[in-house]
Amino acid sequence: MTTATTAVTQREPELLGQTVVVIGSSSGIGLETARRARAEGASVILAGRNPERLKQAALELGAQRTAAFDANDPASLRSFFHDLPTPIDHVMVTAGAPRYGPPLEMPPEEARRGLTERPLLVLEVARGAADKVRPPGSLIFMTGTGERFGIASTASVALSTLIANLALELAPIRVNLIAAGFVDTPL
Ligand SMILES: NC(=O)c1ccc[n+]([C@@H]2O[C@H](COP(=O)([O-])OP(=O)(O)OC[C@H]3O[C@@H](n4cnc5c(N)ncnc54)[C@H](OP(=O)(O)O)[C@@H]3O)[C@@H](O)[C@H]2O)c1
């Protein structure tokens, strides 16, 4: 007869003592990221537009604080970062969505927003976070493997180059863009 022994590997939570800000954290990828950050010992700050959904997420996760605002509004974003307690360690942005559609068929205003909205959001977050994130923290942004067509693909190329430049400017803080495939979320 053999006796099976299970080796239990103990490890320290990876984000103990750190603060993670997730802009777009009342749902989907952002909410799950915040949930995992909490499980790794981080304190989390949640942001999104709908205060009720944020409240639910904050209750579930025991969030340090929440902020309800539209991340595409530069003034709101600036005041969010201005009011943040320091230091913070990581910022993830899942807010904002690509605009799909053939360039010539898209109404001009929608095309303008599709081309400018997300790069400007990234730039504004980087400006706001630069003095708040404790090195070697990180800024993480989202794009998707589906963004290969039309206006969304143009904006996605702009995002990649912008993020590479920000990474050089903000080093040793890391700046990364994640291109997710299909993720089963409310979106
Ligand atoms: N799911 C996928 O398959 C997939 C694949 C590749 C890339 N992505 C990208 O990943 C990101 C997150 O996707 P998801 O599936 O997690 O979406 P989701 O479930 O709809 O979650 C989006 C979150 O962002 C918030 N949000 C959206 N626009 C905002 C704004 N302007 N200002 C502030 N908060 C905002 C939403 O809350 P409120 O609505 O209350 O603001 C929500 O908490 C998106 O940019 C999406 O394009 C998703």
Query: Where along the chain do its domains lie?
Result: 19-106+117-180
What's the 171 CA to ligand 1 centre distance in angstroms? 27
Separation between Cα atoms, residue 33 and residue 143, nearest integer Å: 15
More confident residue, 36 or 146: 36
User: Is pLDDT at 56 greater than 50 in this prediction?
Assistant: yes
Q: What is the mean pLDDT of the chain?
A: 94
28-39 and 51-61 helices, crossing angle to 10°: 20
Q: Are the C-beta atoms of residues 76 and 70 closer than 8 Å to each other?
A: yes
* Tokens 């807010």, residue located: 95
User: Is pLDDT at 9 greater than 80 in this prediction?
Assistant: no
Q: Is 114 in the pocket of ligand 1 (CB under 6 A)?
A: no
What's the average model confidence in pLDDT over 143-166? 92
Q: Are the C-beta atoms of residues 163 and 121 closer than 8 Å to each other?
A: no
Which atom number of ligand 1 is nearest to the Cα of residue 146? 6
Q: Is 160 in the pocket of ligand 1 (CB under 6 A)?
A: no
Report CA-CA distances (Å) from 87 to 17, 43, 99, 109, 130: 11, 11, 34, 38, 11
Tokens representing 159 are 């995002």
- Give the model confidence (pLDDT) of 99-115 as tens digits: 888 899 999 999 999 99
* Tokens 């803080």, residue located: 173
Q: How much is the pLDDT for 7?
A: 61
CATH number for domain 19-106+117-180, candidates 2.70.150.10, 3.40.50.720, 3.30.43.10, 3.30.565.10: 3.40.50.720
Q: Is 24 in the pocket of ligand 1 (CB under 6 A)?
A: yes
User: Is pLDDT at 12 greater than 70 in this prediction?
Assistant: yes
Q: Is 74 in the pocket of ligand 1 (CB under 6 A)?
A: no
User: Is pLDDT at 85 greater than 70 in this prediction?
Assistant: yes
Q: Is 50 in the pocket of ligand 1 (CB under 6 A)?
A: yes
Q: Quote the radius of gyration of the chain (alpha carbons, Å).
A: 18
Q: Is 178 in the pocket of ligand 1 (CB under 6 A)?
A: no
What's the 11 CA to ligand 1 centre distance in angstroms? 32
Tokens representing 4 are 């099976």
User: Is pLDDT at 187 greater than 90 in this prediction?
Assistant: no
Q: Is 95 in the pocket of ligand 1 (CB under 6 A)?
A: yes
What residues pair up with 13 in beta bridges, in sequence order?
none
Tokens representing 20 are 């993670």
Q: How much is the pLDDT for 5?
A: 54
Separation between Cα atoms, residue 44 and residue 33, nearest integer Å: 10
